[in-house]
Amino acid sequence: MNRHVGYGFSAPISAAIDILPESLRHHMTDVHIVTGCDPVFIGLHAYRYSSDGRSYKHIAHVVYPYHQLTLPKHLRHPTIVLPTMRSICDILHEMGHIVHFWYGLDIIVPAIDDDYARINHHEAFAVAFQHWVLSSNDPMLDEYIKHLFESLLIRSR
């Protein structure tokens, strides 16, 4: 992990990485993660509020390179931001956004029966990824979603 700030976050992040399929686990260890701080204050990005009005100072999110306009281009990387301690499920959700970025943000999965997944196709992907990692036999996931994630695993080897 790169840019890992708060050491108290290590256990849940490591636990989330440990339950990933092995081919993704290897790649996820190189993901940049910022913990325990305000991403605007440290200069990661300049966005103060999400589209629904929540402060980025308090919510877990992913910052893509094209949002990191305050950084030189060679320092811009997809980054998971965890300003406060989060559950393994929340961390897996953010990792789902990273996987979505790696394989193309244009990949659309059908929204599963989850209010948050209905917000947009990015959240639908991350929620489906989280459910798939926790239980690939989750009844909320249809066969298309299971096949999609299994094919991504093959591509990541």
Residue bearing tokens 């966005």: 47
Please check whether residue 148 lies inside any domain of the structure: yes
Q: From CA 150, how far away is CA 154, in angstroms rounded?
A: 7
Domain that holds residue 148: 7-155
User: What is the rounded average pLDDT of the residues 45-70?
Assistant: 93
Does residue 56 register a pLDDT over 60?
A: yes
Q: Is 9 strand, coil or helix?
A: helix
Could you read off the pLDDT of 100-136 as tens digits, one per residue? Answer: 999 998 898 987 888 999 899 999 999 999 999 998 7
Give the pLDDT confidence score for residue 138 in this predicted structure: 76
DSSP 87: -
Domain count, the chain: 1
Give the pLDDT confidence score for residue 20 in this predicted structure: 94
Q: How many CA atoms lie within 13 A of 4 on its CB side?
A: 14
Residue bearing tokens 């103060």: 48
Could you read off the pLDDT of 7-37 as tens digits, one per residue? Answer: 788 889 999 999 999 888 888 888 999 999 9
Give the pLDDT confidence score for residue 123 in this predicted structure: 94
Could you read off the pLDDT of 71-86 as tens digits, one per residue? Answer: 899 999 999 999 998 8
Token readout for 95 is 């990792």
Please check whether residue 31 lies inside any domain of the structure: yes
Give the pLDDT confidence score for residue 112 in this predicted structure: 83
Please check whether residue 130 lies inside any domain of the structure: yes
Please check whether residue 134 lies inside any domain of the structure: yes
pLDDT band at 96 (very low <50, low <70, confident <90, very high): very high
Please check whether residue 28 lies inside any domain of the structure: yes
Please check whether residue 2 lies inside any domain of the structure: no
Q: How many CA atoms lie within 13 A of 125 on its CB side?
A: 21
> 16 — alpha (psi -120 to 50), left (phi > 0) or beta?
alpha
Token readout for 41 is 């204050």
Phi, psi of 34 (to 5 degrees): -115, 130
Strand intervals (E) in 1-157: 32-35, 61-63, 79-82
pLDDT band at 69 (very low <50, low <70, confident <90, very high): very high
